[in-house]
Amino acid sequence: MTLPEGFASQVVRWQRSHGRSGLPWQATRDPYRVWLSEIMLQQTQVSVVLGYYDRFLQRYPDVSALAAAPLDDVLALWSGLGYYSRARNLHRCAQDVMARHGGAFPAASAQLQQLPGIGRSTAAAIAAFCFGERAAILDGNVKRVLARTLAFGDDLASPAAERALWQRATELLPEAADDMPAYTQGLMDLGATVCLVRQPSCLLCPVQTLCAARREDRPEAYPVRTRKLKRSSQSLWLLRAQADDGSVWLEKRPVPGVWAGLYCLPLFDSREALEAAVPAADRAALLDEAAFLHVLTHKDLHLHPVRAQFAADGWSRAEGGWFAPAQWPSLGLPTPVRRLLGA
Ligand code: SF4
């Protein structure tokens, strides 16, 4: 496969004139800030990340502050951003940086990759932005841009094909370390704003004359991926036990599992199981609220909230406790629970 000549320089030039700029994490080479933004941006749009990024930096201005924080506080601040394993790894990573690297992120992608929650592409992005390392990124968006530019027809579900694309991505890197931040950002910007999954804006694309998929007039044929994500679905019943003073009963979810480590209404696999957790005398007063769908990456959750009213201290379970409304904002709550409670 011949590589398109001038690809890197086109991407760099376009990023400097047309790419996204002015984002708060672009104004820094501080690995802590760049790392934080990269983790938040995984599977989450820039517009959503902005507010979270600011709040995190206000609360945890450096890696030592984050490492010293209780995990519950970190999860609470992450609440609503989803994919909570990212927040748990963020916390573990900060603690590793303090314990194993003296509080300074390592300056090479090979070492960054050893830290919790930092994969090869994220390590390369941090190293390129902060240290100008010539390391290739290959997240989902970039795979699409490169697979199309190269008309890379091998099935990316196969590890060998993925390795081959990493190899091409490395060969396409610019020569100059100074160009690495703009090139890396440029690929991300192209994937996010121009080379979209459906109906890519090829007429606006800086590499249109180099792009083999465009020449074939079938950009959407790439990347090839046969193995689809297997989705499952599950029904869960949530007991919204409320005390006279407005407190609700919340329990910390076990790790691993759905919403691991977050505070949640008690969850049950069936309405019968939920009823069994309530005194017989109170079951007739259980009130079914409207069921709704909550979509996770691999799973559709059909959630059935059921409300129960108790006198203060009139009910309890082995795990968990009563939490007053004033406490809810400071807890890590799954998004649907937060919405249910109006927290
Ligand atoms: Fe994507 Fe079209 Fe650009 Fe090719 S020309 S990289 S398909 S936007």
Say if residues 64 and 32 touch (Cβ distance below 8 Å): no
Counting from 1 in the atom list of ligand 1, the atom nearest the Cα of 219 is 7
**Phi then psi dihedrals of residue 224, to 5 deg:** -90, 125
Q: Is the CB of 11 under 6 A from ligand 1?
A: no
- In our burial notation (b when 16+ CB lie closer than 10 A, e otherwise), range 146-176 reads bbbbbbbeeebeeeebbebbbebbeebbbee
Q: Is the CB of 219 under 6 A from ligand 1?
A: yes
Q: Is the CB of 202 under 6 A from ligand 1?
A: yes
* pTM as predicted: 0.83
Give the per-residue pLDDT at 312.
66
Q: Is the CB of 149 under 6 A from ligand 1?
A: yes
Residue ranges of the chain with per-residue pLDDT less than 50: none
CA of 143 to the centre of ligand 1 (A): 12
Give the per-residue pLDDT at 3.
78
CA of 219 to the centre of ligand 1 (A): 7
Q: Is the CB of 240 under 6 A from ligand 1?
A: no
Give the per-residue pLDDT at 221.
96
Counting from 1 in the atom list of ligand 1, the atom nearest the Cα of 205 is 3
Q: Is 38 a catalytic residue?
A: yes
Report, in this order, helix, strand and coil percent for the chain, each rounded to 5. Answer: 50, 15, 40
Counting from 1 in the atom list of ligand 1, the atom nearest the Cα of 144 is 1
Catalytic residue selected from 5, 38, 220, 319? 38
Helix 140-149 to helix 159-171 angle, to the nearest 10 degrees?
80
Give the per-residue pLDDT at 298.
82
> CA-CA distance, 115 to 162, in Å (whole number)?
22
